[in-house]
Amino acid sequence: DTAVSQTPKYLVTQMGNDKSIKCEQNLGHDTMYWYKQDSKKFLKIMFSYNNKELIINETVPNRFSPKSPDKAHLNLHINSLELGDSAVYFCASSQDRVYTDTQYFGPGTRLTVL
């Protein structure tokens, strides 16, 4: 069974559209994250979500919004997509939001904005 899964794996869309990426973890973890990997492979945290508390990286545009229906799911909604949003987005989870915990990553979603 896949521990952290994301759908879709590939997403191609036009500028200005709104899209969502879904993430689910079956590890029983309490904390989930979204990361963005740019074209140079650099990974950067976007959000972490734990017990309904959201911590946002201040550099993330407010067009991006995470939504968590329950602790096993953390979806990423993106409004008014821009060319610069093209990247690979990774969902991750950890037992808790403490520095000791290992984060386990999903397979990634490659978003291409045309």
Partner 1 sequence: AQKVTQAQTEISVVEKEDVTLDCVYETRDTTYYLFWYKQPPSGELVFLIRRNSFDEQNEISGRYSWNFQKSTSSFNFTITASQVVDSAVYFCALSESAYSGAGSYQLTFGKGTKLSVIP
User: What are the distances in angstroms from CA 45 to CA 2, 13, 15, 77, 114?
Assistant: 22, 23, 23, 16, 24
Least separation in angstroms between CB 16 and partner 1: 27
Smallest gap, in angstroms, from Cβ of residue 34 to partner 1?
A: 11
Q: Which residue's CB is nearer to partner 1, number 68 or number 104?
A: 104
Q: Across the strands, what pairs with 72?
A: none
Residue number, 41 or 52, with CB nearest to partner 1? 41
DSSP state of 102: P
| Complex with partner 1: residue 48 or 75, whichever CB lies closer | 48
Closest distance of CB 6 from partner 1, Å? 10
**Cβ-contact 57, 66 below 8 angstroms:** no
Distance of closest approach, residue 90 Cβ to partner 1, in angstroms: 6
Closest CA to 104 of 20, 30, 21: 30
**Binding residues vs partner 1 (CB under 8 A):** 33, 40-45, 48, 55-58, 88, 90, 92, 97-100, 102-108, 110
Residue closer to partner 1 (CB basis): 18 or 96: 96
Count of alpha carbons within 13 Å of 107, Cβ hemisphere only?
9
